Amino acid sequence: MRAFIAILLALALAARSTRAAAPPAAKSAKEPAGSCPSGDGAACSDDKPNFKGEWYGEFFPGIPKIKYEGPDSTNPLAFRYYNADEVILGKKMKDWFRFSVAYWHTFRGDGSDPFGSATKNWSWEDPKLDPMQRAFRAMHANFEFLDKLGVEFWCFHDRDIAPEGATLEETNRNLDQVAEVALELQKGTPIRPLWVTAQLFKHPRYMHGAGSSPNASVFAYAAAQVKKCMDVAQLLGSSNYLFWGGREGYSSLLNTDMGMELDNLASFMKLAVDYNKRSGFKATMLLEPKPQEPTKHQYDWDVATTVSFLRKYGLEGEFKVNVECNHATLSGHSCEHELETARINGVLGNIDANTGDPQVGWDTDEFLTDPRECLLVALAVVRNGGLGVGGINFDAKLRRESTSPADLFYAHIAGMDGLARGLRSVARLIEDGRLDKLRAGRYASWTEKGGIGQRIRSGKATLEELEKWALSNPDPIADVASGSQELAGIYLDMAMR
């Protein structure tokens, strides 16, 4: 009897877990129709020629090309602030931002978390298809999405676009095949990758790191992966090549030779820099700081640590940094601080414009929409004179509970509009001029002609000379003026609309 009950219980539990694993349907009655039913393609095929026999339907039927309708628009599938070709502060909005869609979150993110299985039911991820067919479909979905959103850049890890095979050779072949499809889809469009990176953190071989792994054979394998990934990036015309040190760090110093790991990581970077030059790729090389997660300590902790790493190993001038806002706050800084640190060191190359949640202590990768934060990010871009061949990618994902394909559009529209609104505010702030004046005014004594400030900045002053100067001049307390921080806040607030 007991055994019988146990069997019944086991069967009931098994049925429950199967139900829990099946993601809900992606459609919502109120929203535009989501995706085509997956599997056969016939139900939503149109007159487009079949491409390599993989797919000939629309993945986002019912979603129009997203247009600029101005701030009074009530249409959530329109831009209210982002007007791609409008010139602000001497540059088209699209050229200030060079927006890029992050492939991994947008097309491969399935909503799973450590406590629950996938929630999305994207048609390109049809479980009936094999991984390569799914990869081709996801690539088609990417290009339809970019076209409808009006974005000219995408960014990806090698393993986002093509699955690993049984051997490195097979993996490379998979990557070549999907890259070929991407190249075909790019043809006749302005669309190019903003940056490409090798995924050196998911596979168990990288559990101790890649360039900083204690195993030389893992280092060599990772180097081979980077070479191949750089070749694909070059083929697709990517402007940048990125390293985010997923597991380049440690979990315990007890078993870690930190000096050796850092030396090896620098060699890894040098090999890539060297190949970048010799292969004719000549991409801008980027490093993306993050303090921790998944490791306890990541070697590229923040921008300042990354700059000091580059200087120690003679790599300054070879890399710029990709500042991610959520990583900035994880490191105990603000995004503004990280952007400014990068700018004054001449290394601001790209931005992952996302945000975290102040109530959650990890990298939640949310779309950045807070007007004040967006203004400060846009201000950093303007102060830097733009991002050169870099740009802004979102590295942001839908919440697990957002399961409609239309949500992918809402999220990106909100992210793009947020920064566009920020840029419009920056233009007002600069035109108003009072914040710049307040800031510059605090340093007037350093630029005063013939003043002691100029003498000190020339590097010629000595301590004895300054002692003499202090003894023969009144106490500087009379010159110490208010910082007027609250007034600065009012100027910022007045520009925000």
Binding residues (CB under 6 A) for ligand XUL: these are: 157, 197, 244, 288, 290, 324, 352, 363, 395
Q: Which one of 61-69, 181-189, 195-203, 391-399 is the stretch in contact with Co ion (CB under 5 A)?
A: 391-399
The distance from CA 135 to its chain's CA centroid, rounded to whole angstroms, is 21
**At 34, which amino acid appears?**
G
Phi-psi domain of 282 (left: phi exceeds 0; alpha: psi -120 through 50; beta: other): left
Let me know if 471 is exposed, middle or buried by CB neighbors in 10 A (0-12, 13-18, 19+).
Answer: exposed
CB 84 within 8 A of CB 68: yes
Partner from Co ion, ligand XUL, none binding residue 290, C-beta < 5-8 Å depending on class: ligand XUL
When binding is defined by CB under 5 A, the residue of 125, 144, 366, 395 that contacts Co ion is 395
Residue position matching structure tokens 């990618």: 393
Residue 407 C-beta: closest distance to ligand XUL, Å? 20
Residues with a known catalytic role: 157
Residues 435/491, Cβ–Cβ less than 8 Å: yes
**Token code pair at residue 151:** 């974005």
φ and ψ of 321, to 5 deg: -115, 150
Q: Is 317 left (phi over 0), alpha (psi -120 to 50) or beta?
A: left
What distance in Å separates the CA atoms of residue 306 and residue 302, rounded to the nearest whole number? 6
- Quote the CA–CA distance of 123 and 108 in Å, as a whole number: 11
**Minimal distance in Å, beta carbon 323 to ligand XUL?**
11
State the binding partner of 152 from Co ion, ligand XUL, none, CB within 5 to 8 A by kind. Answer: none
Kindly tell me which of 63 and 198 has the beta carbon lying closer to ligand XUL. 198
Chain centroid to Cα 435, Å, comes to 30
Judged by beta carbon, residue 114 or residue 259, the one nearer ligand XUL is 114
Q: How far is residue 168 from each of residues 131, 158, 173, 433, measured CA to CA in Å? A: 16, 13, 9, 57
**Region 347-366 residues binding Co ion, contact defined as CB under 5 A:** 352
Q: Cβ closer to Co ion: 36 or 330? A: 330
User: With respect to Co ion, which residue has the nearer C-beta, 352 or 417?
Assistant: 352
Q: Which is nearer to ligand XUL, 194 or 429 (CB)?
A: 194
Q: Which does 350 bind (CB under 5 to 8 A by kind): Co ion, ligand XUL, none?
A: none
User: CA 15 to CA 19: how far, in whole Å?
Assistant: 6
One-letter amino acid of 199: Q
Q: How far is the CB of 395 from ligand XUL (least distance, A)?
A: 5
Residue 375's H or E segment, with its range, is helix 371-383
Comparison of 328 and 406: residue with beta carbon closer to ligand XUL: 328
Q: Supply the DSSP string of 326-367, one letter for each residue.
A: HHHHHTTS-HHHHHHHHHHTT-EEEEE-EE--TT--S---EE
The least CB distance from residue 246 to ligand XUL, in Å, is 7
Residue indicated by tokens 């993996």 = 171
In this complex, which beta carbon is closest to Co ion, that of residue 58 or of residue 352? 352
Residue 134's binding partner among ligand XUL, Co ion, none (Cβ under 5 to 8 angstroms by kind) is none
Q: Is 302 in the site for Co ion (CB under 5 A)?
A: no
When the beta carbons of 144 and 300 are compared against Co ion, the nearer one is 300
CB of 392 to Co ion, least distance (A): 11
- Residue 206: DSSP 8-state: G
Task: Match 């990417």 to its residue by tokens.
Answer: 142
Residues forming a β-bridge with 393: 100, 352
Look at residue 197 and give the partner it binds from Co ion, ligand XUL, none, a contact being a CB closer than 5 to 8 Å depending on partner kind.
Answer: ligand XUL
Query: From ligand XUL, Co ion, none, which one binds at residue 300 (CB under 5 to 8 Å depending on kind)?
Result: none
End-to-end CA distance of the chain: 71
Instruction: Give the type of residue at 495.
Output: A
Q: Report the alpha-carbon distance of residue 210 to residue 221 in Å, rounded.
A: 8
Taking the complex as a whole, the smallest distance from the CB of residue 138 to Co ion amounts, in Å, to 19
Which of ligand XUL, Co ion, none has residue 144 at its interface (CB below 5 to 8 Å by kind)? none
Q: Shortest Cβ distance from residue 201 to ligand XUL (Å)?
A: 8
Sole binder of Co ion in the list 31, 58, 160, 324 (CB under 5 A): 324
Nearest distance in Å: CB 321, ligand XUL: 12
Say if strands 87-88 and 78-79 run parallel, antiparallel, or are unpaired.
unpaired
Binding piece for Co ion, criterion CB under 5 A, among 1-9, 26-34, 270-278, 316-324: 316-324
Three-state SS for 51? strand
Measured from the CB atom, the residue of 68 and 244 that comes closer to ligand XUL is 244
How many residues touch Co ion under the rule CB under 5 A: the total is 3
- Residue 425 binds which entry of ligand XUL, Co ion, none, CB below 5-8 Å type-dependent: none
By beta carbon distance, the residue nearest ligand XUL is 244
SS3 assignment, position 214: coil
Smallest separation, CB 242 to ligand XUL (Å) = 6
For binding to Co ion (CB under 5 A), which residues are involved?
Answer: 324, 352, 395
